[in-house]
Chains A and B, each alone.
Chain A
Amino acid sequence: MTMQTFLTLDLMPMLSGLLAAVTCGLLGNFLVLRRLSLMGDAISHAVLPGIVLAFLLTASRAPLPVFLGATASGLLTVGLVELIRRVGRVEPGAAMGVVFSVLFALGVFIMARGGAESVDLDPGCVLYGTLETLAWTGPPETLGELFSLQVLGGLPRPIWVQSVTLIVVVIFVVTLFKELGIAAFDAQSAAAQGISPTLMHYLLMSVVAGAAVASFEAVGSILVIAMLICPAATARMLTDRLRSQVIVSAIVAVATGGLGYTLAVFVPLGLGWRFTPSVAGMMTVVAGAFVALSIVFSPTRGMVARKVRTRRLARRVALEDLLARLFRAEEEGAPALASADLSRASRGSHPAGLERAAKSGLVSIEGSLASLTDAGRAAAAAIVRRHRLWEGYLVDRAGLSPDHVHEPAELLEHLSLETELPIPDAGADPHGKPIP
């Protein structure tokens, strides 16, 4: 592949895909947070009649009428959903389902009826776009000419529309970041601070509609939906702060676009396949893969990380229970317990716990008997102390009766607290045992 073919055939589709990905990805954050993901879905279906009508009426693909028509039908969707939800008292999901399916059907119907005149607007491209046809007819001879005005003027029109949309979206998100965030997390607090949640809702929805329209033509509605939801969802699995979530989602969107295009075009080309997958379809698959990966492997909230944490906690609890049992046995005058009994210890204990305790020097095993080492005794004393302090606390402060506090204390003793619990009024635990 030469530089020239890359510039002519690949750069523009790739750029268009990336622009769509980032534009929708940024806005998606607020949709996902406000549980309006499906509003993105609804809008990207419902802009169709607007596009088709504007297109048929003006008999051109002039960006402005199409843009206005589509944004209008996007806003109409939002208003109708609200109306049906209120009047019909049905849940928002069903209201959305009604509105977008009817509007989409209307779009398909008009398109099919008036289809003969519309050159390149067909039901297929509505779904997966026309990314592949976006060639750059006048690419520069050298890289140096890339940024001259004349060359930039020759860029395909969708690229221009999409670039402008991206800039608008970035400005929107940056300037209204605080307001959008507050409205997303807590509409009532927003209203109390003088930010109208309704206004923010409609503003956001109009920008989403605009972004959907701008991206629609190039990448199709399926990728618009995927990009409104997937990068934001991925970012949400990876971070806890809105600011970083927005940034991560943009990075994920770029990665999705780049990787999707590579898998759809360069890989089949390199491997000599006969079939070239749809770029939009491939990008969607990649976006989904990122979501799945983030759900499984996110360092903070992923399934693996949670499993590891749970295991680690279970191990610690088992070890602490083991040490506490040995400590109590010592108190009652038995310096060692049969390791077979300990391995069969009660709730939550880990079979390998005893060996691990021995290996870390907390327990010494002689023959079939296990006893505490000095280090183990100190650790065990701390646990038993916590246990008895909790028992005292539960009786003194929480008003439980002494015969009901052992079980909760068994759980609470494993919490690591920053503050020390008070010594019980009696100076010993409710059962009269001394506090180590």
Chain B
Amino acid sequence: MIESSEPTRFMSDLVETLALPVRELHLVFFGGAHNTSYVIIAAALLGVAAGLVGCFALLRKQSLMSDALSHATMPGLVSAFLIADAIGGSAKSIVVLLLGAAVSGVLGVLGVHWIVRNSRLREDAAIGIVLSVFFGAGIVLLNYATKHASTPAAGLNHFIYGQTAAMTRPDAITMLAITLVAVVACVALMKELTLVCFNDAFASVSGWPVRRIDLSLMGLIVLVTVAGLQAVGIILIVALIVIPAAAARFWTNRLPTMLAVSAGIGGLSGYCGASLSAVSPKSPAGSVIVLTAGALFVFSMLFAPARGLLPELVRRLRVKLRFAVDHALEHLALTADQSIRARPLPIGRAMRRFLHTKNLISLSDGSVQLTPNGLARGRRVARNHRLWTQYLVQYADIAPSHVDWSVDQVEHILSPELVAELEAAIAEPPTNPPPTQSGVSS
């Protein structure tokens, strides 16, 4: 009995948690809201920041650099903990930990640059080396901290997979502050970043400090990574930088739209993910946030109108259908004009029915007749075919016996302007079939 009611309770809990930050929004600014509200809002803002920064990282081909960076934060995190513990400070102070993480993250990025500059190894290998070695070192340090520090080091484990449940209010506020800085900086630097992403050579010769702009992008990635360590975790924070941006790519070809969509997807993932994880503490927050982002990515990839898989498929089928109709009508028109001998129609029943519903042919007692519309279109295609053939033979020096295939592709896409140009270029218009524009009436 209890089991059967569990999903319902889960759902109502979830809805309540999702609504909580909205209900408490006024409290958030004046204090007094639930911890959960702070955490969820912080996670959403993190998603927005990561979405914005991620777009630039994606366009600058730096997506996986953020993976190296996040893994490289591990030894710094533990070192900061150990140092704070040794000098008797509060070893769990989130600011100290994140500072240490940022320092070693930057060292990791410098390490990648050092390897690429001083060896024959490529960036991919350098990223892999830094990522694994820094993380391995971090694990060894963590082993040490577990045994030797006077403060229990168990909490550090949470930074690997992320844990929103354990976040205190100061944690959430720190995270909120860092992400706010990242968002503001990202908006302020938008023009510079855009320029460098699209044409760094041009930016450089126009006198923009490309290196410094790149550095500031790296700085933004560091901010986002560090802000997300506690909620999303070292391993998965890269997802929040890569996925929203890659998903937004399906929706648009314009950067401003892409930034907006990416920020939206990031924010939504952070919001929903953190809420879900707050309801069921057993699910690590990082993985829930990333799975939410992943679901939005899959949706974008399948359904986004601009570049999604299904819309693309529909567009292709449309074109194919148009070609097939063109071919059928061309054949019928040629037969009707008796420029080829009547042969059994190369069109199936489905096509025949389709043409009928489109009012391109009429079916009277078994024989197929073109309607005036159909005849016009068929003749136009046939005429385009001739024009293009003639053009290829005359100007492109292609043997008449070799032009057929390419003409079959091109005849459908000749625009009226192009047809006019072809007519002008070809002194002697082809005579067969009769190229009359108004041949329909005969």
Using a CB–CB distance below 8 Å, which chain A residues touch chain B? 32, 35-38, 40-41, 45, 84, 87-91, 93-98, 101-102, 104-106, 108-109, 112-113, 115, 123-124, 127-128, 222-223, 225-226, 228-230, 232-233, 236-237, 264, 274-278, 280-285, 287-288, 291, 295-296, 301, 303
The reply to whether B63 and A91 contact each other, CB–CB distance below 8 Å, is yes
Instruction: Report A-chain residues with C-beta under 8 Å of the C-beta of B236.
Output: 101, 104-105, 108
Q: Which residue of A lies closest to B135 (CB)?
A: A222
The reply to whether B135 and A284 contact each other, CB–CB distance below 8 Å, is yes
* Interface residues on chain B, size class: 35 or more
Using a CB–CB distance below 8 Å, which chain B residues touch chain A? 58, 61, 63-64, 67, 115, 118-122, 124-125, 127-129, 131-140, 143-144, 146-148, 157, 160-161, 235-236, 238-239, 241-243, 245-246, 249-250, 282-284, 286-288, 290-291, 293-294, 297, 301, 307, 309, 312
Q: Which of B118, B131, B246 contacts A295 (CB 8 A)?
A: B118
The reply to whether A87 and B63 contact each other, CB–CB distance below 8 Å, is no
Instruction: Report B-chain residues with C-beta under 8 Å of the C-beta of A301.
Output: 119-120
A303 to B121, CA, bound (A): 13
Give chain B nearest CB distance to A221 CB in angstroms: 9
The reply to whether A94 and B283 contact each other, CB–CB distance below 8 Å, is no
For the complex, would chain B's binding face be called helix, strand, loop or mixed by DSSP majority? Answer: helix
6 A-B contacts (beta carbon < 8 Å) = A91-B61, A97-B239, A98-B242, A222-B136, A230-B129, A277-B140
Q: Which of A38, A94, A288 contacts B246 (CB 8 A)?
A: A94
Give chain A nearest CB distance to B431 CB in angstroms: 46
Q: Which of A91, A93, A123, A282 contacts B140 (CB 8 A)?
A: A282
Q: Which residue of B lies closest to A263 (CB)?
A: B140
A108 to B245, CA, bound (A): 23
A276 to B125, CA, bound (A): 29
Instruction: Report B-chain residues with C-beta under 8 Å of the C-beta of A233.
Output: 119, 121, 125, 129
A223 to B236, CA, bound (A): 18
Q: Which of B136, B147, B238, B283 contacts A274 (CB 8 A)?
A: B147
The reply to whether B139 and A278 contact each other, CB–CB distance below 8 Å, is yes
Give chain B nearest CB distance to A57 CB in angstroms: 20
Given A88-B246, A285-B140; A105-B291 close (CB under 8 Å) = yes
The reply to whether A124 and B157 contact each other, CB–CB distance below 8 Å, is yes
Q: Which residue of B lies closest to A229 (CB)?
A: B128
Give chain A nearest CB distance to B303 CB in angstroms: 12
Q: Which of A37, A106, A276, A277 contacts B128 (CB 8 A)?
A: A37
Given A38-B127, A127-B160; A97-B67 close (CB under 8 Å) = yes
Given A127-B139, A277-B144; A88-B133 close (CB under 8 Å) = no
Q: Which of A84, A104, A113, A296 contacts B283 (CB 8 A)?
A: A113
Instruction: Report B-chain residues with C-beta under 8 Å of the C-beta of A93.
Output: 61, 63-64, 124
Q: Which of B122, B160, B312 contacts A123 (CB 8 A)?
A: B160
Instruction: Report B-chain residues with C-beta under 8 Å of the C-beta of A229.
Output: 125, 128-129, 132
The reply to whether B238 and A97 contact each other, CB–CB distance below 8 Å, is yes
Give chain A nearest CB distance to B357 CB in angstroms: 33
Q: Which of A105, A232, A284 contacts B239 (CB 8 A)?
A: A105
A179 to B267, CA, bound (A): 47
Instruction: Report A-chain residues with C-beta under 8 Å of the C-beta of B139.
Output: 127-128, 222, 277-278, 280-281, 284
Give chain B nearest CB distance to A245 CB in angstroms: 12
Given A104-B235, A105-B239, A281-B143; A113-B63 close (CB under 8 Å) = no
Given A102-B297, A281-B140, A288-B129; A275-B64 close (CB under 8 Å) = no
The reply to whether B58 and A94 contact each other, CB–CB distance below 8 Å, is yes
Given A94-B245, A233-B129, A275-B146; A284-B137 close (CB under 8 Å) = yes
The reply to whether A41 and B128 contact each other, CB–CB distance below 8 Å, is yes
Given A91-B61, A108-B161, A233-B121; A287-B235 close (CB under 8 Å) = no
The reply to whether B120 and A278 contact each other, CB–CB distance below 8 Å, is no
Given A101-B290, A278-B140, A288-B133; A109-B239 close (CB under 8 Å) = no
Instruction: Report A-chain residues with C-beta under 8 Å of the C-beta of B250.
Output: 88
Q: Which of B58, B136, B241 contacts A280 (CB 8 A)?
A: B136
Given A106-B291, A109-B284; A282-B136 close (CB under 8 Å) = yes
Instruction: Report B-chain residues with C-beta under 8 Å of the C-beta of A222.
Output: 132, 135-136, 139
